Amino acid sequence: MWWRRNNQPEQTGSDSAAAEVRPAVPLDDEFAYLQSMVDGRMTAQELVIPWRVRAQELGARSLALGRGVALLQEAWSYQGPNQPFGREELLVMGPFFEYYALAAGLHIVHQSEYGDYMLVQLTGVIAVERAQTAGPPVRMAQTNIGDVIGEMSLLDQGQRFSSCVTLTPCDVAVLTRAGLERMLAEQPLMAANVLLMLARKLSIRLRSISAKIR
């Protein structure tokens, strides 16, 4: 588990001891800091596992930008109206993603962890699984080339609903929170279209779930 705590020391013992080791914080942040002390728990942001850590854990091999963008163009050329980008637009969008090759049998997303990145499947086969209170995980689906994985956590840094495992060697495009923010600053219209695409995908998914529980 990745703990992003800005190198804050572990706080134990009495309140006075905690005060002695408490790092200096700007006055404007004092209330937020004290509130976190009262809550006695870490925030979701502090629990986020960034892609750079997950990539290192997985032994992911970085792909050249040109190769990655070409794979993204190819993968999303098969998509329907919910993927509104042409090849030229993907050429502009592509540099905001990172591209990696992954071996088979790797957990690229873990259920219930906090994340700040999404992936686009470029090649290979990925399984979506969900753990149960008893028994082995249930395989919910296998993704297809061009599918988006983990977009909800990219948007809200919330907990992952399921785990994703590579069943074969795979190439993926990764859009991190930092990459999305850079796109918003440098290509705001493109970023708005990406967010609209993700909103449509989430809407379709929610409608499908609603239909099943009626």
**Buried (b) or exposed (e) across 131-164, using 16+ Cβ within 10 A?**
eeeeeeeeeeeebebbbbbbbbbbbebeebebbb
Percent of the chain with pLDDT over 90: 39
Query: Of residues 70 and 137, which shows the higher confidence score?
Result: 70
| Under 8 Å between Cβ of 75 and 94 | no
- pLDDT attached to residue 156: 73
Rounded Cα gap, residues 198 and 164, in angstroms: 19
Of the candidates 205, 121, 114, 136, the one whose C-alpha atom is nearest the C-alpha of residue 166 is 121
Residue 32 has pLDDT above 70, yes or no: no
| Under 8 Å between Cβ of 198 and 148 | yes
Residue 29 has pLDDT above 80, yes or no: no
Q: In this predicted model, what pLDDT tens digit does every residue of 74-133 receive, in sequence order? A: 998 866 666 678 888 999 999 999 999 999 999 998 888 888 899 999 999 999 988 877
Residue 22 has pLDDT above 50, yes or no: no
Q: Cβ atoms within 10 A of the Cβ of 11, count?
A: 14
Residue pointed to by tokens 């329907």: 80
3-state secondary structure 54-71: HHHHHCCEECCHHHHHHH
| Under 8 Å between Cβ of 58 and 139 | no
| Under 8 Å between Cβ of 52 and 98 | no
Rounded Cα gap, residues 148 and 48, in angstroms: 19
* Beta bridge mates, 128: 141, 164
| Under 8 Å between Cβ of 162 and 110 | no
